[in-house]
Amino acid sequence: MTSFEEAETEETVTCLHMTFYHPCQEEKMMFRCLNFGKREQVRADEMAKFGRDSNICHYNLMDTRVSRIQFSLQFYRKLNSSEYIFELKNFSKRTKLTVNQTELGYLNKIDLPWKCIICFGDYQILAEVQEGESVDYFETCLHLAEAPILQERSLPSLLQPVPENGISSSIFLSQDKSPTEMDENEPC
């Protein structure tokens, strides 16, 4: 047997992809301490903390309007399940945080859906979970958005019914144009 055949099976790792946006990100550089495009390992028994206090938080947001600890993410496995998920807890006493429009006050927590938008103040974060099997650690991979995340998502096509021909009318709209209301008797 070769060493390749005897090697242990490689375990996949859960990765949390987070895409950050703030309207003043270029002039205020609040994301300058984040490592974009690089996967980072976090032990499963640690909380990933986001905020402005570099002594407590691994992910630092350089903005005085951000709390010392804004929020944390805890990786865990559901009871009687093989599913691994993330729990987000808001640690800001001043700023409410939303996860897909579910509002969280101080010390409120929520299980993250596999894809969601986290908002607080002017910050928008698209979080997407890439499932894995590892129980010892997970990874984070941070990205920087150049445009607002809430506008990048194709929410109209997700929320509007698709006609029987399978073509949604929202795909014909440009990003800067909104649909106009028409009388049903007017010609198209």
Q: What is the pLDDT of residues 40-72, one digit of tens each?
A: 999 999 999 999 999 999 999 999 999 999 999
The C-alpha atoms of residue 86 and residue 72 are separated, in whole angstroms, by 10
pLDDT at residue number 32? 96
The C-alpha atoms of residue 82 and residue 167 are separated, in whole angstroms, by 38
Mean pLDDT of 128-150: 93
Average pLDDT, the chain: 83
More confident position, 102 or 160? 102
Residue 10 has pLDDT above 80, yes or no: no
Task: Give this prediction's pTM.
Answer: 0.74
Residue 165 has pLDDT above 90, yes or no: no
Q: What is the secondary structure of 59-77 as a DSSP string?
A: EE---TTS-SS-EEEEEEE
Mean pLDDT of 164-181: 44
Give the residue from 1, 3, 35 showing the smallest Cα distance to 18: 35
Spell out the domain ranges in the chain: 11-148
The Cβ of residue 19 has, within 10 Å, a number of other Cβ atoms equal to 18
pLDDT at residue number 175? 43
Let me know if domain 11-148 sits in CATH 3.60.70.12. Answer: no
pLDDT at residue number 82? 80
Residue 174 has pLDDT above 50, yes or no: no
